Structure 1
C-alpha cells in the first residue's frame, strides 16, 4: 500500500484524502490548525454554483478594476503597491483573456461533474451540511449586465449547464422576499448551497473512518522529493519532525506557491481576499424575511446562502492585497447595507464578519495533476470556486496518483484534458 501525504485540510485537501483513501492508499493529512476547514473553507458564500463558472479573464474586469481602484467599498479592490508576485500574476491574467471562452466552458464542465461526486459522498457518509437544492438566481439591475449574462449562458450551455432567463415578475415568484427594482435575472435550478465548514469537517471524519491519519497542529515548513520518496518536515510545539512517504499532494491553498517552489515547480497562486457575513436570524420576522433561494447580485458581486433556519450568509468582493487577512470595517459595511436594502425585514443586529484568502491562478483554472517529480501532485488554485469544484478535482488528482502507482484510474469522470497542463 503506497503512502501519500496531503498538505492542507481545507476543502480540497479533505476531499483529496477521502478520494485517495477510497482507492486504497495509506493517506496522512497535515494541517497547521487544530481542526479541518479553519481558513478559506470556514465561512465562504456557500454556493455550489456551476452557474458562476465564468472566468474573470475578460476585458470588462480590467476596466472595472481601474474604475474602482480608489473606492474602498468597491467589489474589486487592488492595492496599488507593486510586488513582483502581483505584477507577474496580472500579466498572466491579461495573457489569459484570449482563453476566456474555452476556460469558462471547461469550468462549467467540471462544476457539473463535481455535483455527482459531492452529493454521493455526503449521502454515503451521512454528512449534514445544511444542503439546499433550490437553485441559484442571478439578479441584474440593468440591460447591459443582463445581456452579458445571456452571452455567458451560451458558454455554460456548451459546458452542459442549462439556465433560463427570468422576468422581474418571475424573480419575485422564485424569491418573494427580494426587495428592489431589477431588469431581469437568470435562474439555474440545478445549483445548490450548503455550509462548506460543516461538509469539510464531516468528510474529514469519514476519511478518518476509512483509515486516513489526520495530523492537526502540524505547521509544515519544508517539502522535498527525489522522485521516489517525499519528505514532509512539520513543526509541532516548535520542534521539527520529518516524515517520509511515497508521494505528496499539495492542497495548501494560498501557501501552495511556496511549497511548489520547494519542490521545483511553479504554481502562481495569488491570495485574493474575500469577505463574508453570517447574519444570525434570531426571530420569526427575520427568518421569514430572509431568502431561501440563493442569489448572486452581479453588480455588487455578492452571493447569498440560507444555512438552516437561523443563519443567512452573504459573501463576495475581491481584494488583491497580498497575504493580508485583516477584516476591514469598510469592506464589511457594504455587505450589511446590501442586506438592509434587499431584505429590509432581516435584523442585522447579530452579524459575524469573516475574511478568507482565495487561492487563484491567473487563468482561473485549478492546478490539478503532476509536478516535475514523479511522486509530486497538486490540487490547488481553485479561486472562488473551490467549494464548487472540489469533489471532481479530488477525484481527478486521485486518479492521476493511482495511474502513477497502479496504472489504472477507475472513477475519473472528467477528462484531464479540460484543464491546461502546467509544470
Structure 2
C-alpha cells in the first residue's frame, strides 16, 4: 500500500487526507500546530458560498485598491511598501483580468461540485458544525452595485448556480432585524453556513478513525522528491527525524510557496489577510436581533454567519502585508461598527477578534494537480473560498494520487473534471 504524506491540516489538508483514506491509501497528516484547523481554517466567515465565486480579477478591484491604499479601515488595503513577491503577484493578477469570466464560471462549477461530498461526509461521520441551510443574501445600497451583481448572476448561472433578485421589502422579510436602506439584493437559497473549525476538527477525527496517522506539532524543515520517494525532515517535540513517503500532497496554505520551491515548482501563493469577529450573543435580546440568514454586504465586503444560538460570526477585509498575522484594532473596529449600525439590537459587549492569511493565487484559481516530480501533488491556493471548494478539490487530487499508484484488485477510479485548477504557475 503506497504511503502518502499530506502537509497541512487546514481544511484542504484534512479533506484531502480523508478522501485518500477512503480510497485505501496509507496517509500521514503532518501539521506544525498541535491540532487541526488552527490557522486560516479557524474562524473564517463561515459561508459555503457558491454565490461568492466571482474572482477578484476585475478592473474595478484595481481601482478600489488604489483609491483605498491610504485608508486604514478600507475593505481592501494594500500597504505602500511592496516586496518583490507582492509586485510579481500583482503583475500576474492584472494579466488574469482577461480570464475573469472563464475563471468565475469554473469556480462556481467547482463550488457546486463540492457541496454533495462535504454534506455527505458530515452526515456519515456525525460531524456537528452549526450547519444552517438558510441561504446567503447579498445586499446592495445603490443601483450600480446591484446592476454589477446582475451581471455576475449571469456568470453564476452559466456555471449552474441560480439566485434571484429581491426587493427592499423582500430583504426586510428575509432579515427582519436588518437596519438601513437598501436598493435591493440577490438571494441564493442553496448556499449554506457553518463553523469551519468544528467541521475540520471533526473530519480530522474521522480520518484518524479511518487509519490516517496524525503528526501534530511537527514542522517540515526540508523536503526532497527523489526517484526512491519523498524525503521529509521534520522538527517536533522529540527533536528531528527524517521520514520517507511514496508521495506527498502539499496543502500548506501560505507556506505552500516555499515548500514548492524546495520541490522545484512555482506556486505563487500570496498571504492575503482577512479579519473576523465572533460576537457572543449573551442575552435573549441579542439572540433575537442577530440574523439567522447569512449576509454579504457588497459595499463593505463584510459577511455574516449565525453559528448556533449564541454566536454571530462577522468577517471581511483583505489586507496585503506579507505574512503579518497581527490583529490590528483599526481593522477590527469596522466589523464591530458594522454590527452596531446594521443590527443595533445586538450587544457587542463580548467580541472575539481573529485574523488569518488566505493563500491566494494571482488568477484566483486553486492549484490542484501534479508537480514536476511524479511523486508530488498540490491542493492549495484556494483564497477566500477554501472551505467552499475543499471537498471538490480533495476529490480531484485524491483521484490523481490513486491513479498514480493503482490497486490491481480495486475498482478503477473514474476521471473527475477539475478544469483549469490543475495547472501550476
Question: How is 1:237-248 mapped onto 2 (pairs within 5 angstroms)?
Answer: 237=237, 239-248=239-248
1:206 aligns with 2:206: yes
- In 2, Cα distance between the equivalents of 1:172 and 1:411? 46
1:104 aligns with 2:70: no
- Give the deviation of 1:212 after TM superposition: 0.1
- In 2, Cα distance between the equivalents of 1:55 and 1:124? 32
- Give the deviation of 1:416 after TM superposition: 2.2
- Give the deviation of 1:111 after TM superposition: 0.2
Paired residue secondary structure (1:389): helix
Greater than 6 Å deviation, 4+ residue runs: none
Contact 1:228-1:374 at 8 Å conserved across structures: no
Residue of structure 1 in register with 2:423 after alignment: 421
Paired residue secondary structure (2:5): strand
Residue of structure 2 in register with 1:197 after alignment: 197
Contact 1:395-1:412 at 8 Å conserved across structures: no
Residue of structure 1 in register with 2:115 after alignment: 115
Q: TM-score, normalised by structure 1?
A: 0.98
- Equivalenced residue count is 422
Stretch deviating more after TM superposition (228-237 or 329-338): 228-237
Contact 2:403-2:413 at 8 Å conserved across structures: no
Residue of structure 2 in register with 1:230 after alignment: 230
Residue of structure 2 in register with 1:327 after alignment: 327
Contact 1:33-1:217 at 8 Å conserved across structures: yes
Unaligned runs of 5+ in 1: none
Residue of structure 2 in register with 1:406 after alignment: 406
Paired residue secondary structure (1:336): helix
User: What CA RMSD, in Å, does the superposition of the two structures yield over aligned residues?
Assistant: 1.1
Paired residue secondary structure (1:56): coil
- Give the deviation of 1:180 after TM superposition: 0.5
- Give the deviation of 1:412 after TM superposition: 5.6
- In 1, Cα distance between the equivalents of 2:70 and 2:414? 48
- 1:248-279 C-alpha deviation (Å, 9 max, x unpaired): 00000000000000000000000000000000
- In 2, Cα distance between the equivalents of 1:203 and 1:409? 25
Residue of structure 1 in register with 2:265 after alignment: 265
Stretch deviating more after TM superposition (139-148 or 228-237): 228-237
Residue of structure 1 in register with 2:382 after alignment: 382
- In 1, Cα distance between the equivalents of 2:52 and 2:414? 25
1:38 aligns with 2:41: no
Contact 1:228-1:375 at 8 Å conserved across structures: no
- Give the deviation of 1:232 after TM superposition: 1.3
Paired residue secondary structure (1:190): coil
Residue of structure 1 in register with 2:301 after alignment: 301
- Give the deviation of 1:227 after TM superposition: 4.0
Question: How is 1:4-403 mapped onto 2 (pairs within 5 angstroms)?
Answer: 4-237=4-237, 239-403=239-403
Paired residue secondary structure (1:355): strand
Q: TM-score, normalised by structure 2?
A: 0.98
- Give the deviation of 1:307 after TM superposition: 0.1
- Give the deviation of 1:238 after TM superposition: 7.2
Q: Taking structure 1 as reference, are residues 238 and 272 closer, same or farther at Cα in structure 2, changes over 3 Å only?
A: farther
- Give the deviation of 1:410 after TM superposition: 2.6
- 1:85-133 C-alpha deviation (Å, 9 max, x unpaired): 0000000000000000000000000000100110000000000000000
Contact 1:227-1:374 at 8 Å conserved across structures: no
Unaligned runs of 5+ in 2: none
